[in-house]
Structure 1
Amino acid sequence: MSGRRGALLAMALVLLVVTASAPIKHYVLPRIVAIAYEIERHGIVYSWGGGHAERPGPSTGTCAGYTGRIKPCPATRTRGLDCSGLTRWVYALAHGADVLGPGNTDDHVRRMRQVRSPVPGDLVFFGERRKKRLRTRHVGIYLGLGRMMNAPETGAIVRVDDIAKVPGFLGFYRY
């Protein structure tokens, strides 16, 4: 059994070295898309503030600041993800660490750089431009062809949506 463990450990180390030396654009971004589609397949529901526990992933949300159409606010009894909770979890799984952290979309966009030529796996932010900074209100994972993986609103599940249907496009961003 210890020989098998040694072989598995050696294989894991080889994979780590190979993937760590691969260009981030060619390695992490396709993983982000694959993970996003896997999460969609599981039908995870939207929860305002969901995904912002100590560790990334589905969690119950909060009703603080809730303005959704379903009343009373269901977030404190709904285990799921909001938009920034979805992107945080997907990026953590793809990168192997919580690279975006527990903040909201404004916190996340500050950790990224805007790109003019997006590739699947980049994030797409929505909101408004202020004189000195962005005021974001939504984020999705760019899938290509004008589509994004999206945790859109209370009562919905994580799904694919057209970017053009969401108002306030701010741009594409890469970690």
Structure 2
Amino acid sequence: MAEPRGPSARDVKKARQLVRHRSHQLSKTTAALVTAQSRLDRLAAEVERLVEAYNGEMVRLHRAEQAHQQATARLAAADAEVERARQDVALLAAESYGGLGTVKPYMAMLADRGGTEGFLHRASVLGYLEEEQAAVMRRLRDAQEVATILRTQAARAHAERLAAAESVRKAKIAAEKAVARQRRETKELMARKTTLQRKVNAARARARLLARRRNAALSGLVRGGSRLGDVAANWALTQLGKPYVWAAAGPDTYDCSGLTMRAWEKAGVRLDHWTGTQWTSGPHVPLDQLRRGDLLFFAHVSGDPSTIHHVGIYVGRGQMVHAPQTGDVVRVASIWRGDLVGATRPR
């Protein structure tokens, strides 16, 4: 069978132009991703500030409520003292203007004594009564003044409590609105980020594919059926951009072992749809002796094949084609990852 004709000079030129165009798109989408992430970070910081402002207002509200309760209690005590003093004044007034009352013993005593000595005694008793009246009046006046001061304090505490409550209400509304806005914008930004990332991945994979095909065509490395590994690797490169779907094995979606199974199927080698048996599908190959089509395995525990969780297919120059994960697409990537455990050459 005749070998397929390589790309013409026109094809190579168009390929290079497409690479430059894809690279430009990649730069633009990457910049857009950076901008989107920056907006998301600023919004998160603003929400944190508002939530902390709300927390501060809650602390101040609690303190204002305590101050109001204390002022109310003191005012109640002062009002009670005013009432007691008022009762004493009322009793004193009744005794002074309404008859003998509790003053009767003093009046009798005054009536029993005569002469100069009696006069002096009566004068001292009357002086004592006047002092008692003055003391009662002073106590009433003092109690009223204290009550007035405490009433003012209670009113101020009440006003501060109301103001604090209003501040809390406004801060809470502001925080809730900011949180709602953050959730909404985050959802929109994450959707845009996913879309942009897919475009980045597709652009990168397409650019690498064009560069690889161009170089292969110019150097004569790509020849149909030259080696089983080449067949598998070349077919895998035709699947770039197709979405990753768990447990899928083509033709429109793949998971990692589904892609490698189909690639080697094209070369006439049957593999199971499972990394466990694909690891044992042929001899293990040292990483410095890799050939196109070799399967590369990655594990949770370096050096422990029993923890293998991912597989890709080697396409040369330290690169592999693989189906990475949910939300991603089949693409070209470097084989040099920290979880690389080894390679197998199926047969």
Same fold, judged at TM 0.5 (above): yes
Matched residue SS, 2:227: helix
Does 2:284 match 1:84? no
For 1:170 and 1:140, the matched residues in 2 are separated by 12
Partner of 1:119: 291
For residues 24-77 of structure 1, what are the alpha-carbon distances to aligned partners after superposition, in whole Å with 9 as ceiling and x for unaligned? x9521111121011111xx211001111xxxxx34xxxxxxxxxxxxxxxxxxx
Partner of 1:170: 341
In the TM superposition, what are the counterparts of 1:45-84 in structure 2 within 5 Å?
A: 45-51=243-249, 57-58=250-251, 80-84=253-257
For 1:124 and 1:84, the matched residues in 2 are separated by 11
Deviation of 1:88 (Å): 0.5
Higher helix content, 1 or 2: 2
Q: What TM-score, normalized by structure 1, do the two folds share?
A: 0.62
For 2:307 and 2:226, the matched residues in 1 are separated by 30
For 1:151 and 1:115, the matched residues in 2 are separated by 22
Partner of 1:94: 267
For residues 77-97 of structure 1, what are the alpha-carbon distances to aligned partners after superposition, in whole Å with 9 as ceiling and x for unaligned? xx61110000001111121x5
Larger Rg: 2
Q: What TM-score, normalized by structure 2, do the two folds share?
A: 0.32
For residues 96-151 of structure 1, what are the alpha-carbon distances to aligned partners after superposition, in whole Å with 9 as ceiling and x for unaligned? x5x1123x211211222201211111011111334xx5321110001111110010
CA 1:163–1:115 in 2, change beyond 3 Å: closer, same or farther?
Answer: same
CA 1:139–1:119 in 2, change beyond 3 Å: closer, same or farther?
Answer: same
Partner of 1:61: none
For 1:126 and 1:85, the matched residues in 2 are separated by 15
Structure with higher RCO (Cα < 8 A, 6+ apart):
1
Check the 8 A contact 2:280/2:344 in 1, yes or no: no
Q: Which runs of 4+ in 1 moved over 6 A?
A: none
Partner of 1:109: 279
Q: Which runs of 5+ in 1 are unaligned?
A: 1-10, 12-24, 52-56, 59-78
Aligned partner letter, 1:85: G
For 1:46 and 1:94, the matched residues in 2 are separated by 22
Matched residue SS, 1:32: helix
For 1:109 and 1:142, the matched residues in 2 are separated by 14
The one of 306, 320, 326 equivalent to 1:154 is 326
Matched residue SS, 1:155: coil
Partner of 1:141: 313
Check the 8 A contact 1:120/1:142 in 2, yes or no: yes
For 1:174 and 1:29, the matched residues in 2 are separated by 8
Does 2:230 match 1:30? yes
Matched residue SS, 1:110: coil
Check the 8 A contact 1:82/1:151 in 2, yes or no: yes
Higher strand content, 1 or 2: 1
**Percent sequence identity over aligned pairs:** 34
